[in-house]
Amino acid sequence: MHVIQCSAKHPHICHLDIVRPSQGNVFYLRAILQNHPVKSFTDALTVDNIKASSFQEAATMLGLFVDQNKAQYMMQEAVSALHTPAELCFLFLHLLINDCIIEPLALWQEYMHELSKDFMPQCSHDIHLVGSHALQSIGDSLEEHGKVLNDYGLPQPTLPSSEVLHEWLKWNPLAAANASNAHEAYSLMTDKQHLIFDKVIHCAVNNTPLCAFINRKVGRGKTFLINAICNKLQSLNHIVLPTATATSATLLYPGG
């Protein structure tokens, strides 16, 4: 809705309903009315005493779509008018299937945050997951129109399996705390503990297989070291699956 006040002396207030770009000339007439008060249709078509052949041409002559194309214009207006993420996704879908978006990927990247907000709580605000969920939802809706994300150069959602998702959502919110725990433990470690810690983290981060056997007498810091390794890897968004021969022993480790 847009309100125009033509003159302070003689106020005229009007409401402009949302018009989709696929409605053609009416969309451009609305854009003109949003930016310039006019007295008649002819007035709306006339720019600097030159009469345009269409409202689209008049809007272009007024420079309304110089910085933004019509899809950006619509998205920006919808975001400014505080439309819900679901409504924004519906608008994005409508613009896609009506071929109103010149560069779908660029528009997606520009408005990904606004389009994905509904998925934030269930994804612990993980930007990657949130975006993938929104893409998945848009992709599902596109299928109803016989289209797929790929038709518009949009990326495929990369949603992990439910087990992986469960681990991510469990540990991601604790990443900062785990990083701090690992950092504190590292500052207390002996040289031998440092050596093992560095080796394990290096192999895990670089996807290098490692089979290590750590043996020391009772109370010499094996559990302390493994806990620090688990904390560090979990803070780096790695999934750690600690196991032990005795069930109760796994409880000594985070995630065991």
Binding site for ligand ATP (CB under 6 A): 188-190, 193, 216, 218-224
Nearer to ligand ATP, 113 or 222 (CB): 222
How far apart are the C-alpha atoms of 52 and 50, rounded to whole Å? 6
CB 231 within 8 A of CB 217: no
Nearer to ligand ATP, 11 or 219 (CB): 219
Q: What angle do CA 176, 177, 182 make, to 5 degrees?
A: 100
Nearer to ligand ATP, 4 or 189 (CB): 189
Nearer to ligand ATP, 157 or 255 (CB): 255
Minimum CB–partner distance for residue 193 and ligand ATP (Å): 6
Minimum CB–partner distance for residue 246 and ligand ATP (Å): 11
Nearer to ligand ATP, 36 or 220 (CB): 220
How far apart are the C-alpha atoms of 103 and 125, rounded to whole Å? 27
What is the DSSP code (8-state) at residue 69? -
CB 236 within 8 A of CB 202: no
How far apart are the C-alpha atoms of 3 and 26, rounded to whole Å? 17
What is the DSSP code (8-state) at residue 159? P
Integer CA distances (angstroms), 176 to 126, 173, 185, 201, 232, in order = 14, 8, 14, 17, 10
Minimum CB–partner distance for residue 180 and ligand ATP (Å): 16
Which residue's Cβ has the minimum distance to ligand ATP?
Answer: 221
Nearer to ligand ATP, 148 or 252 (CB): 252
Minimum CB–partner distance for residue 236 and ligand ATP (Å): 21
Q: Is 183 left (phi over 0), alpha (psi -120 to 50) or beta?
A: alpha
What is the distance of C-alpha 48 from the center of its chain?
A: 43
Integer CA distances (angstroms), 105 to 101, 129, 144, 146, in order = 9, 17, 20, 19
Minimum CB–partner distance for residue 230 and ligand ATP (Å): 12
Minimum CB–partner distance for residue 234 and ligand ATP (Å): 18
Nearer to ligand ATP, 79 or 189 (CB): 189
How far apart are the C-alpha atoms of 157 and 209, rounded to whole Å? 29
Minimum CB–partner distance for residue 240 and ligand ATP (Å): 17
Number of residues that make up the chain: 256
Task: Report phi then psi at 253, rounded to 5.
Answer: -110, 145
